[in-house]
Structure 1
């Protein structure tokens, strides 16, 4: 059986929390024990417009997001909080919910 990192995926569904500094990002990550925690913290702290929907970015393909973000969402395990991931926009926590 192949694991996620050895397959080629073209679409991903993910949520994220975007904040300005790494310390806050790490603090939020430590508070996340469930999907409900992630949703609540995204709504409260994320500076991205997606905060209104719990950080939901919907389904997107490769190359839509910045390279650092793409690298994580197309290779990291599903349903585990990834990050902090630094991009030009700030620091992200990422929850990948599906790939195909």
Structure 2
């Protein structure tokens, strides 16, 4: 079964996610922004979701993790939890 490692930032609005994505593109550190702005418990780990397998995350996030290019900031993506920015480190 495939496995991947990813991190994300979860916020309440698309505008917040877009502003954070702009800051990431300008070179700000993902883990620092996740700790300051994310509403997910993973913020304590800088947004690190650890190793995940297909089906562990909501479908929209799962599709990014297992189908989109690596080491790119994807999003904002809306789920029932809010707006996500997602970065995938590796997939095996």
Structure 2 gap segments, 5+ residues each: none
- TM-score for the superposition, normalised by structure 1: 0.87
Q: Superposition pairs for residues 5-44 of structure 1, below 5 Å?
A: 10-33=2-25, 34=27, 37-44=29-36
1:93 correspondence with 2:77: no
SS of structure 2 residue aligned to 1:10: coil
The structure having more radius of gyration, on CA atoms, is 1
Gaps of 5+ in 1: 1-8
1:69 aligned onto 2:69: no
Q: Deviations over 1:15-71 (max 9, x none)?
A: 00000000000000000035x611110010000000011000000100000101101
Q: 1: distance between equivalents of 2:7 and 2:71?
A: 10
Two-structure CA RMSD over aligned residues (Å): 1.2
- Which residue matches 2:74? 82
